[in-house]
Amino acid sequence: MTGATGFLGQRLVARLLAQGWQVCALTHRRPLPEKFQNGGVASVAASESEKIREAISECGVLFHLAAYIPPSLGDWKQAAACFQANAQFTLELAELAVECGSPRMVYFSSAQGYRYSSSAVTEEAAVFPSSRATYYLASKLLGEIYLEHARLLRDLPAITLRVGSCYGSGMPENSVVSRFMSRAGQGLPLEVWDGGIPTCDYVYADDVIDLAVAAVAKKQTGIFNAGTGKASSLLELAETVKTIFREKNILIEVKPQGQTVPASFPPLSVAKAFEALGYRPKSLSEGLAAYRLEMEETP
């Protein structure tokens, strides 16, 4: 697994260990958390190319979650780093997988590259990441293209998950869901910017993990959306968080819309994942309620 030390990666490692898997993590800048070091997870450093090849040749599934998100999404000078980490590295892993006997490969991509639509977009909808985070999203899309090429022409059993805006305990603290939940937990007002207009398909982290594990268990390949089928505005998100912390009487402060409003993202159709993998994601209110329980159970 790449990205095992990240937000989704740690959840996936925990799930796999609970199900009796043996996990080998490719580490780069951060070591494995101590809970996994003592839990029987092996690790290989990104600099150890021969050990990486050996590990891939021995594994049954290669989960690829690692990604480079630039500090400034609008800085064109970050394009090369995005390409190297998100596209080129995905290609190299796919090539290694083919050379090592084609273990099943699961790639965690982004659903935020779809062209905007008010209705739910299917996996066949136009992907055109030109209005926001272009350098990052374009590199993730190119990684998809490389992986699909290996699947279609080189028989690599690969699946791409286009993940919506994922949330849950342990997510980056600067994300809007984390900020809202943290402030609500303290009884503080929620500041909603841009008039609360921008929309996104918010998906609970464990639902994405469920989908990844189901895709492996059912030996599916191809591209699948990992969302909820519904996009919520920033204001709707804040109102739902307020409901989750009803007893705290949270205030919502809506800031006026500026001259430019950040791009909105469409709802993701999950019909394909529902039919093929039995995917049934939580609603926003159900997911945020689960998030609150995590916050209260984790020191």
| Residue 46, pLDDT score | 83
Domain ranges in the chain are 60-171+202-229+266-283
- Angle between helix 205-217 and helix 7-18 axes, rounded to 10 deg: 50
Contact 158, 151 (CB under 8 A): yes
CATH of domain 60-171+202-229+266-283: 3.40.50.720
Average pLDDT over residues 140-146: 98
pLDDT digits (tens, 9 = 90+) for 169-191: 999 999 999 999 999 999 999 99
Across the chain, mean pLDDT equals 94
pLDDT digits (tens, 9 = 90+) for 68-80: 999 999 999 999 9
**pLDDT at 165 > cutoff 90:** yes
Q: What percent of the chain has pLDDT over 70?
A: 100
> What's at 39, amino acid-wise?
G
pLDDT digits (tens, 9 = 90+) for 87-123: 999 999 999 999 999 899 999 999 999 999 999 999 9
Lowest mean pLDDT among 30-39, 76-85, 100-109: 30-39
User: What's this model's pTM, rounded to 2 decimal places?
Assistant: 0.95
Lowest mean pLDDT among 41-50, 150-159, 240-249: 41-50
Tokens found for residue 231 = 């996009």
| Residue 299, pLDDT score | 63
| Residue 285, pLDDT score | 98
Contact 3, 65 (CB under 8 A): yes
Residue with tokens 């796999």: 16
Distance between CA atoms of 66 and 210, rounded to whole angstroms?
Answer: 18
Distance between CA atoms of 59 and 66, rounded to whole angstroms?
Answer: 18
Tokens found for residue 237 = 């998100």
Distance between CA atoms of 127 and 35, rounded to whole angstroms?
Answer: 39
Distance between CA atoms of 223 and 207, rounded to whole angstroms?
Answer: 16
pLDDT digits (tens, 9 = 90+) for 207-255: 999 999 999 999 999 999 999 999 999 999 999 999 999 999 999 999 9
**pLDDT at 38 > cutoff 80:** no
**pLDDT at 283 > cutoff 80:** yes
Q: What percent of the chain has pLDDT over 90?
A: 87
Q: Is 284 helix (H, G, I), strand (E, B) or coil?
A: helix
Average pLDDT over residues 271-297: 97
Q: How far is CA 101 from CA 23, 53, 56, 194, 215, in A?
A: 18, 11, 9, 50, 19
Contact 190, 183 (CB under 8 A): yes
**pLDDT at 34 > cutoff 90:** no
